[in-house]
Amino acid sequence: MNPNDKNSGVSAVRMTVVRICVLLLGIACVVKICYLSFFESALASGTGKECVDTTVEGWEDNVDSTCNCFVRENALRPERGEIYDDHGRLLMGNYTVFEVAFDGKAFYKEYTSKQYDEAYREKMIKQMAAGFYDRFKDRFPQYSEKHYYNLFTQNYKNQRYVTVFTAKLWNEHQWITSLDTAYIKHMPCMVKRKVDRKTKEVNDTLPFSRFINFVSWPVRINPYGEMGRRTLGMNYGDRQYGLEYFMNDVLAGEEGSKKYLELNHAVVPLKDRIDPVDGHNIHTTLNLEIQNAVHNELSKKLEELNAEWGCVIVMETKTGEIKAISNLRRTPGTTNYYCESMEYALNAKVEPGSTFKLASLLAFMEKKSNDTVCIYPMFNHTFKVPTKSGSFISKTKSDSKVRGETLGTPNEVFQRSSNIGIASMIFDAYGMRNFAAYRAQLAKFGFFDTLHTQLGDLMPAGIRNDGRFDNYYGTCFGAGFNIPILRTLIYYNAIANNGKMMAPLFVKYVTNEFDTIQTFESQVLMEQMVSQATLKKARNYLDSVVWGRYGTGRHYKDSTCPFAGKTGTRDIWDQERGAYNYDRNAVSFCGYFPKDNPKYTAIVYMYNVPQHSEVAVDVFGKIARSIMNSNNFSAMRSITEYQVKPVLTTSPMNKRFFNKLIAQMGYDTVAYETKSRYLVVLPEKTKSKDGKTAGKTIPMVKAVPMSTVEGVPNVQNMIASDAVAELMRAGYKAAIVGRGKVKTQVYDAATKTVKLYLE
């Protein structure tokens, strides 16, 4: 017998057995698949009786101790919408921070093997503690190096999972960023030693940090720090204010959900999925250049005066659009650091002081048309106050140390800001017993109406409705009651706007990724606040405060930046003493510029300062000059003034704002369809069919796709705000040098920072 035949037969038998086994296995799989498809499909989809759906109410009632099948749901967070200024520059965007945790159990499993002894573990933990302390000692000064050492040691021995740093979403000074996570991952103690078996070479470059976990959290970031922070707002927990809170329905988007099956502790994804809907972007009326001027001038003056807090609001006269709001308060425990911590513009309960004399002047002139022939007491006066019995009592009032009674015209009274004089004017027009008639006239000006704004309700003036002489007297010049600072600005703006009272507007429109989906129009509160005759006289009176012989703001008049308005000074009410503090004041100035053709109306209010209202006029004048001298102000002139429009070229522009910006420059907009976020205008004009230039100048538009340089988004030629936004969106940190658009960019891989050089 041939041995080969015997071996061949054995092999054939074995192959037959293998084929039979494979066939049986295939048949078993088919049977199992059919069984699962027809008999266990409900279990696989989470709809069977054995499964408990935890996404419905009352599911706890259907659970018993033997249940091992649950349908669970994970929320899918949408991306929150961003906030832009009136030129499409980012004011509030999305950023990612991290929660840092130490997994003691993972550390224990990895480093308690024979390869690592106790001395090695001790050395490693000491290095970790030193590294954490060195990196985070400025942000977490309460934690010593010993704190980190004890935290790591105790939790690795007990094999516990512990949070080292929580994600404090509301406190950006303690945010853990991607730069921090990169530092932690590449600390020397986080590097795992690997020995090549063949070459015996030691490789220490592989990062090993499985026992340090990072949980990402989305947060909001303002690229410009404290500027306008209170207006932009926050919506974390009990920190709810500003646009982030009041426009949350627009910004938040809608959460999605993803269901999964938990069967015998195994996780099986289900088909049920609802994709999240990202939030919309809001485009505010704020202007970055004006906001910067307001913030800088106010903070410098507050530091100089060591004031408690201050507020400045700038409104566009014709539209009521708020171009800047700064609410700065001295940080507790410091003497010269001011930050945005309160919404003073809408919510501060302050006495307006002499800025309210404009309201009294308007009420007077609506009753008295012959103001030029009237004279009234100033400085000192004894009022004969009628009583209910018909007799009179004497009330002596004094405005200054000047002795004797001096008379003056209403214009001089207003220039000198005489309390006695303005009260005498009101008493003459309405009578000393007719406070109700004077109050009714104020009501016609809208002082007692609650105004609904995009930043919440603006409350009415808190003028008490009683006829006591002291209340009547004080009301005439803004004492004894509170009024929101913004409400004062609103009626001053009506005088600057030829009598038309505009509601404040903070948000102009809302966009999604592709288009504008909602617009907000300027709202007219009153078509004519006062008669044209009264309006003309009031403008002259406000001019005289700055340009008149006795005007309280005359020392700050400037022919290169002519403005008009009214000063205000109030003593501060001391709640503990129940009396006024005459050594410290609340000072203000409200007015408009340029005075002959107002474009902006603004109010400056500073609280708890040792000086009088002249310091507020100083701040107002500097802000006005800064705005009028800026390139932004010059650019507002209509391009239609030029007979021939120049050929237009631009840097890359965000397509969300492209048509609007092109239209503002006087060019016809064009239709475009592109997935790119940026467009650029080429230096040429469209041609008609006969080859001649078309009648209208229509820019030629080209999409600018996002490219990369060294793996980093290429932001060259972009404006700084767009460049910063793109880098932040991609997870990088930006550092800006210079002004203008990006000329060059340099990437530092160690710190994951892109330095932008502007020109």
- Predicted pLDDT of residue 166: 87
What average pLDDT does this structure show over 469-485?
A: 92
Of 669, 590, 592, 662, residue with least CA distance to 624: 592
Residue 77: exposure state from Cβ atoms within 10 A (0-12, 13-18, ≥19) = middle
- Residue whose tokens read 């018909």: 390
The tens digit of pLDDT for each residue in 253-267 reads 888 888 777 766 667
* Spatial CB neighbours of 171, under 8 Å, sequence gap ≥ 6: none
What average pLDDT does this structure show over 319-323?
A: 96
- Residue whose tokens read 């990369």: 708
Instruction: Calculate the average pLDDT of the chain.
Output: 83
Tell me how crowded residue 666 is: count the other CB atoms within 10 A of its CB: 14
586/610 Cα distance (integer angstroms): 9
pLDDT band at 48 (very low <50, low <70, confident <90, very high): low
pLDDT of 173 over the 90 cut? no
- AA identity, residue 516: T
Torsion of CA 638, 641, 643, 644, to 10 degrees: -30
Q: Per mean pLDDT, which range of 299-303, 370-374, 685-689 is the poorest?
A: 685-689
- Predicted pLDDT of residue 672: 65
Q: Do 368 and 429 contact (CB within 8 A), yes or no?
A: yes
- Predicted pLDDT of residue 206: 44
What average pLDDT does this structure show over 84-110?
A: 88
Higher-confidence position of 626 and 76: 626
What average pLDDT does this structure show over 311-339?
A: 89
For the chain, the distance separating the N- and C-terminal CA atoms, rounded to the nearest angstrom, is: 96
DSSP string, 559-585: TTS--EEEEEEEEEEETTTTEEEEEEE
For domain 289-635, is the CATH number 3.40.710.10? yes
Q: Do 125 and 322 contact (CB within 8 A), yes or no?
A: no
Higher-confidence position of 730 and 287: 287
- Residue whose tokens read 């919408």: 81
325/284 Cα distance (integer angstroms): 12
Q: Do 613 and 354 contact (CB within 8 A), yes or no?
A: yes
Q: Per mean pLDDT, which range of 154-158, 283-287, 613-617 is the poorest?
A: 154-158
Among residues of the chain, what percentage have pLDDT more than 70?
83
Q: Do 639 and 340 contact (CB within 8 A), yes or no?
A: no
pLDDT of 535 over the 70 cut? yes
Question: Encoding tokens for residue 95?
Answer: 């950023």
Of 448, 520, 441, 529, residue with least CA distance to 493: 529
Q: Per mean pLDDT, which range of 167-171, 284-288, 308-312, 511-515 is the poorest?
A: 167-171
pLDDT of 370 over the 50 cut? yes
Beta strands in 626-737 (DSSP E): 653-654, 678-685, 699-704, 708-709, 712-713, 733-737
* Spatial CB neighbours of 446, under 8 Å, sequence gap ≥ 6: 490, 491, 501, 525, 526, 529
pLDDT of 190 over the 90 cut? no
Quick one: which H or E segment has residue 291?
A: helix 288-305
What is each CA distance from 578 to 343, 407, 583, 607, in whole angstroms? 26, 33, 15, 18
What average pLDDT does this structure show over 178-183?
A: 87
551/555 Cα distance (integer angstroms): 8
- Predicted pLDDT of residue 587: 95
- AA identity, residue 182: A
With DSSP H G I counted as helix, E B as strand and the rest as coil, what are the percentages for the chain, rounded to 5?
A: 35, 30, 35
What average pLDDT does this structure show over 295-309?
A: 92
**What class does CATH assign to 77-223?**
alpha beta
Q: Do 674 and 700 contact (CB within 8 A), yes or no?
A: no
What average pLDDT does this structure show over 125-150?
A: 91
Tell me how crowded residue 582 is: count the other CB atoms within 10 A of its CB: 8
pLDDT of 390 over the 80 cut? no
pLDDT of 239 over the 70 cut? yes
Q: Which long-range contacts (CB under 8 A, 24 or more apart) does 730-735 make?
A: 731/96, 731/178, 733/177, 733/178, 733/179
- Predicted pLDDT of residue 107: 82
Of 730, 737, 478, residue with least CA distance to 585: 478
- Predicted pLDDT of residue 196: 58
Residue 259 sits at φ, ψ, to 5 deg, of -90, 150
The tens digit of pLDDT for each residue in 706-754 reads 778 777 888 888 888 888 888 888 888 888 877 778 888 888 887 788 8
DSSP state of 130: H
- Predicted pLDDT of residue 640: 39
- Predicted pLDDT of residue 553: 93
Higher-confidence position of 230 and 8: 230
The tens digit of pLDDT for each residue in 53-92 reads 777 776 666 666 667 677 777 778 888 999 999 988 999 9
- Residue whose tokens read 């969300």: 656
Of 737, 713, 745, 742, residue with least CA distance to 726: 713
Q: Do 602 and 592 contact (CB within 8 A), yes or no?
A: yes
What average pLDDT does this structure show over 297-318?
A: 94
Q: Per mean pLDDT, which range of 26-35, 439-448, 603-612, 626-635 is the poorest?
A: 626-635
592/600 Cα distance (integer angstroms): 6
Q: Per mean pLDDT, which range of 100-104, 444-448, 609-613, 685-689 is the poorest?
A: 685-689
Of 318, 313, 314, residue with least CA distance to 497: 318
Question: Encoding tokens for residue 68?
Answer: 């091992």
Instruction: List the helix and strand counts (H, then E) for the chain.
Output: 22, 37
- Residue whose tokens read 């410009």: 224
Higher-confidence position of 620 and 653: 620
What is each CA distance from 187 to 128, 166, 181, in whole angstroms? 8, 20, 10
The tens digit of pLDDT for each residue in 645-695 reads 555 667 777 776 676 677 666 666 666 667 677 777 776 554 444 544 444
222/175 Cα distance (integer angstroms): 14
758/738 Cα distance (integer angstroms): 5
In a 13 Å sphere around the CA of 407, the CA atoms on its Cβ side amount to: 4
Higher-confidence position of 432 and 49: 432
What is each CA distance from 557 to 586, 594, 604, 671, 728, in whole angstroms? 22, 12, 16, 49, 45
Q: Do 91 and 247 contact (CB within 8 A), yes or no?
A: no
What average pLDDT does this structure show over 391-412?
A: 79
Question: Encoding tokens for residue 115?
Answer: 């390869």
Higher-confidence position of 470 and 369: 470
- Predicted pLDDT of residue 183: 87
Torsion of CA 660, 511, 172, 328, to 10 degrees: 60
Of 484, 491, 476, residue with least CA distance to 538: 491
Higher-confidence position of 285 and 52: 285
Question: Encoding tokens for residue 393?
Answer: 């009592």
In a 13 Å sphere around the CA of 150, the CA atoms on its Cβ side amount to: 5
pLDDT of 637 over the 70 cut? no
Q: Per mean pLDDT, which range of 401-410, 530-539, 548-557 is the poorest?
A: 401-410
- Predicted pLDDT of residue 83: 94
- Whether omega before 352 lies within 30 degrees of 0, making that bond cis, reads no
- Predicted pLDDT of residue 47: 60
What average pLDDT does this structure show over 39-59?
A: 64
Higher-confidence position of 50 and 634: 50
708/712 Cα distance (integer angstroms): 5
pLDDT band at 44 (very low <50, low <70, confident <90, very high): low
